[in-house]
Every structure is written in structure tokens, then in C-alpha cells.
Chains A and B, each alone.
Chain A
Amino acid sequence: MTAAIEDLLGPAAPYSWGFLDEQSKREIRRAILTAVAVPGYQVPFGSREMPVARGWGSGGLQVTLAIAGEADVVKVIDQGDDAGVNAVNLRRLIASTTGVATTTDAREATIVQTRHRVPEGPMRAGQVLVLQVPVPEPLRAVERGEAEQRQLHAEGDYARMWVSLYEDLVRHGVITCTTGYPCLVGGRYVIATSPIPRWDCPKLHQSEHLSVFGAGREKRIYAIPPHTDVEPLTFEDVPFEVERTPGAACVLCGAVEAYLVEVPGRGWVCSDTDWCARRRRAS
């Protein structure tokens, strides 16, 4: 005798709005409020089990699901691409558990969840950028102990961070850190701008939009509110530089002033596919 799987499961209990239960959403919203109130401070939160593996965007997903309302329009990108596997799956999950509208147009979105990029075009007031963060702790390379890391943040003691930048310059002649470049937020906390390229760091400075960083595996949420200073750590006599390849231009839209990625054998293309497509439609 075999029973159909449906019989064993019984009547399906519908998920609550946004997959997470109400208590969880409330806790995450509280963590976000604290993070906004103390820019750059990593707020611990009870990261829930999500239907994606930790380290695959579970932190960003929890933030998005906790803040999404019926009127929101959600865009999800992975490396600037709306069609990346991770982006497609997360967008479907968000849409099916909330019913919110989705878009690929950064201008229409109210929430942009992202891994590795900030949209190329300017974001406006009222938009929320949700970043998926694998490693939220900028001090990890210089201090392994979690209690010590917290102590250093609490005392604003970033001397060893500066020493590591000094060592980098001495050994390599340049600061080698590429993604997740450490930035001082609001003159107080150093954050890992996890893992967006240097190119995107200036977009977080005095921005119109709110940026919320969610690290699911590490159980931390931090934020950069609009109109907050975000300064990449660098020496007075060593200017902060962003990625540039001399002579590179997007083979699709011709853009030079954009974050470009190399397609082997094809040349350079814009990392932000939506922005690139809009430029091509306009011309």
C-alpha cells in the first residue's frame, strides 16, 4: 500500500506574508532601525533558516522580506545582472511569498536587492538598496577574536586597520583591496562595503537612498542612511582610486564611465545590464 505524498502532507499551511513569521520580521525590522540610527554599526540579529543556503544571500533576503510591503516593487541583481541564477531565484522567492511586483528597471524599483554591485545610474530618495553580505567584519584580517573586534569597534580603534593598509602599500606599492573596501561611515564606524567594487564606494557617500547590509551567515545587519559621509580609508598622500582599464568601452552601448567587466574574446561590457540596455534603447 502506498499513500500519495499529498495525503501524507495533509492540507498545506500557507506561508505568512514574506515567508518569515511575524515575530522574525519584527526582530529584523528592529535591527534595521538600530542600524539606521547608528550608521555603520553591526547590529546582531537572529538570522533565520531560509530556503537558500547561508552565504547565498540569506541576509539580504531576510532584510527584503522584512521591509517589503504590498506597494513595493522589487529588483534583484547579481553582479549587476537581473538574469543571474541567484538573482532569478531570489526574485521568484520574494514575489511568490509576498506577491509584490518585480522589475528589472532600477528607476521603478522601491527595493533593490543586490550582490556585488550598486546600480550604475543614480538612485533616488525613498529607494532602499539591500546588499547581501558574506563577510561583514572589516577587522577580521587584523583581529580574529570576535570579542576583541567588538571592543575595537566600540573604542573606534582602527590603528591596526591603518597599519594593514600601510603594509599593503609597502609590500605591493598599491592598496590591493579590491572588493569590500573598508570605509569610515559617519566619521565613526569602519564597515566592509561587502563585496561591491571600489567603483561603487563613492555612490554610498552622501547618497539619496538608504543602504541596508544583511549578513545571514554572520547574523549582522548594518546600514548607511541617506546623506551620510562614507569615506574610503586612505592616506592623505595616497588618493583613493577606482577600477579603470585604459581604452576600455562597453561593446554594446559604448559606455566608458561605467563599471565594465571583460567577456573573454568579446571585449568589455557594462556590468549593470539594465542600465546598458536602457542606454542602447535611448540611442
Chain B
Amino acid sequence: MSWALRVAGLGVIYGGGCDRCPERTGPAAGAADPGLDAVDASGPGASRVVCDRCGSVVAAWDVSFEVAPGESLGVIGESGSGKSTVLRTIAGDLTPWAGAAWLAALDGGATDLFTLDRAARRRLRAGDLGMVYQDPAEGLDLEISAGGNVIEPLTAAGWRHFVRMRSRAAELLGRTEVPVDRMDDLVHTFSGGMRQRVQIAKALATSPGVVLLDEPTSGLDASVAAGVLDLIRELSEELGLATVVVSHDFQVMHMLARRVLVMHHGRVVEEGLTDQLLEDPQHPYSQRLVAAAR
């Protein structure tokens, strides 16, 4: 098996949904509709995420990709393009409408994650799947210590030895460059960059094979962000992690991801090697995105 994580046909719809949602939404929804004349079918309003038949929001549709062990896949797109939705659905925070996802580490890739019950999904998060959120307050409890946050997935995975958990937390925090003498301080006393490092330590606690990163550096200033990105790159190389990193920032993609998906209105509009995509974007939306970043 060449992949660590495989996603096929992932779709997330908010609202009732109808069987025509997929064709009535997306970047080409207006243009594809033969019932509209040329004026209606063009312009900013033609491309949409709200189904005009049933009013449901199609946050993501037909998203498929594979990530190999040690590989890093980027997902880029503007706000609201559905990239975080895809990540959170894989992580188990959101419920998918359609599609399937497999982890190589789970039953040798035979079991679709989306068929698992909530308790099994949660066990996965304390095992083979780590997640780093944009806002540390979402991934961490700011009112407990850094060490306490890092040991949470360990306790969920059945660790019951205080000294062993503590030394594991110290090891992880040391690796993510959080001063170990501050491991007993409450996380809300930490700076943004340090909080993000604690989150990374927590995501790595149970040595997962796959780590999902949702805008890991968006709230940080440039120099701190660069440090965190370096750390993520080093750790993924060192540990052979398969990572999926979501960002709207080409700098992040450039540093972390070798391969990139471009998302727009909930659809993947282009996929390619990062360098290639930055130099020679094919899809009109990718071209606009790259032009805007320059």
C-alpha cells in the first residue's frame, strides 16, 4: 500500500440537501446550466456554494486524494472554499454527507473511517491521527498545564503510569522546543507561538502516522510562523509523518507541501506539484490566486 491516508469522494452538505445539490453548486455551476442565458451564467454570481433548488450549503464535494507516508499534501484556497471542512471531517469533528476515508494504520486500510462510531473515532484521535487547529484554544484546554494537555491523548490511549506519562510529555515538549521547565505552567500564560508548539506536541503524543494541520501558523507573526513551519517540516521528515496542511498562504505551501490541491467553492479545481502550480497555474481560479499572492 502506497498511501497512509486515502480520501474518496468526500462531500459535506449543510441543510437538507437534494440530489441536484452537486450539479447546482461549485465553480462552474452557472456556466453548466443550459437553462441560463450568457449573462446570467457568467460573473461572480454564477459560481456558488448554495444550491438554488433546496438552499443547502455544499461546503465540499467530490474531494479525493491520497497521501503517502512521509509525504506532505497542501490544500490551498480562499476563506470559505471548504478546505478546513475537509480536514475537520477527516479528523471526526464534522459528519460527512458522502464519501469515504481510510487510514493505512487502521485495519490495514480496510475500514472506512466514516463508518466508525463516535467512540471509535475518538480512539483514533488518541492513536493514528493527530490534528493541529488554527486556534490553539480549540485544540488545547488553556486552563490546564502544557503537560496536562499533552498527556490527554495518552490517558485516552490507556496510559495510567504518572511518571511515564510525565516523561513522555517532557520529551515531546522538548522536541517541539517548548521550555521543559514551563511544562507545568497553564497554557493561557503562553505566547501564540508556544501554544501552537504545545498543540503540535499534543498531536504527536501517541505517535500517529497521519497529522492534519489546519492553518497552523495563520495567527502568528512572520518570524514565529517561520519557526513553527521549520519545526513541522523537521518533525515530519524525522518521524516519516504523512501530513495534510490547509492554508491560504503560498509561503506555507512552499515550505511544507510538495503537492498541492487548489479548492474553490467546495471543489478541487487543480492538483499538482507545488513548484509547478506556483509557476504555471492552469485553472483560472488558481491563476487568480497565484497572481494575488505576488
Contacts and interface: CB of A to CB of B under 8 A. Distances in A.
Interface in B189-206: none
A162 interface: yes
Nearest to B164: A237
A22 interface: no
A166 B161 contact: no
Interface in A118-170: 151, 155-160, 162-164, 166-167, 169-170
B125 to A, nearest CB: 10
Contacts of B32: none
Contacts of B152: 159-160, 163
Contacts of A162: 151, 155, 160
A166 B169 CA distance: 12
B175 interface: no
Contact of B162 (A151, A166, A171): A166
A182 to B, nearest CB: 13
A238 B162 contact: yes
B122 interface: yes
B52 interface: no
Contacts of A169: 162
Interface in A212-228: none
B145 interface: yes
Contact of A157 (B144, B156, B166): B156
Q: Kindly name the residue among B152, B155, B164, B165 whose own CB sees the greatest number of chain A CB atoms within 10 A.
A: B155
A235 B164 CA distance: 10
Given A157-B119, A166-B151, A167-B145, A235 B160 contact: yes
A150 to B, nearest CB: 12
B145 A170 contact: yes
Interface residues of A, number: 19
Contacts of A164: 144
Nearest to A151: B118
B77 interface: no
Q: Kindly name the residue among A155, A158, A166, A236 whose own CB sees the greatest number of chain B CB atoms within 10 A.
A: A166
A170 B119 contact: no
B160 A166 contact: no
Contacts of B149: 163
Contacts of A170: 145, 147-148, 166, 184
A261 B155 CA distance: 36
A169 B156 CA distance: 18
B151 A237 contact: no
B119 A237 contact: no
Given A155-B119, A157-B122, A167 B148 contact: yes
Interface in B31-65: none
A85 to B, nearest CB: 39
A29 B16 CA distance: 42
Given A155-B122, A159-B153, A166 B147 contact: yes
A156 B161 contact: no
Q: Kindly name the residue among A157, A167, A169 whose own CB sees the greatest number of chain B CB atoms within 10 A.
A: A167
A238 B163 CA distance: 9
A170 B145 CA distance: 9
Nearest to B144: A167
B262 interface: no
B155 A159 contact: yes
B126 interface: yes
Interface in B128-183: 141, 144-145, 147-149, 151-153, 155-156, 160-166
Given A155-B122, A166-B162, 14 more contacts: A155-B119, A159-B126, A159-B155, A162-B151, A162-B155, A163-B144, A163-B148, A163-B151, A166-B151, A166-B155, A170-B166, A235-B165, A237-B161, A237-B164
Interface of A: 151, 155-160, 162-164, 166-167, 169-171, 235-238
7 contacts: A155-B122, A162-B151, A162-B160, A163-B152, A166-B165, A235-B162, A237-B162
Interface of B: 118-119, 122, 126, 141, 144-145, 147-149, 151-153, 155-156, 160-166, 184
